[in-house]
Amino acid sequence: MKQPNVAVYGSRNCSDTTRAIRYLETHQVAFELKDLDESPELNDYVAGLNNGHRVIPAIQIDNEILINPSDRELSKALQQSAAERE
């Protein structure tokens, strides 16, 4: 099974971002962290994903964007993306 392309837009200082990262690491899902504290120019991009509000984490799984997903929502999106890659 091929893994989806995953990017996490968030901050290491955000408990929701660290929860999502911990979930991805626990489930051995490769991802790229785009830290908004280190790259503040990404703030406008993230705000644009959510009607002008900067809500993190914003997680891109292939072409799907999840805004502050629960572990259950994250799991479902990863499973769906992996199934589409088969």
| Chain segment 44-71, per-residue pLDDT in tens | 999 999 999 999 999 999 989 999 999 9
Higher pLDDT pick, 3 / 74: 74
Q: 1 falls in which pLDDT band (50, 70, 90)? A: low
The architecture (CATH level 2) of 6-75 comes to: 3-Layer(aba) Sandwich (3.40)
DSSP annotation string for 22-45: HHHHHTT---EEEETTT-GGGHHH
Strand partners, 58: 9, 67
pLDDT tens-digit readout, 19-49: 999 999 999 999 999 999 999 999 999 999 9
Q: List C-alpha distances in Å: 22 to 6, 12, 29, 30, 48.
A: 14, 11, 10, 12, 25
Q: Is the pTM of this model over 0.85?
A: yes
Domain boundaries, the chain: 6-75
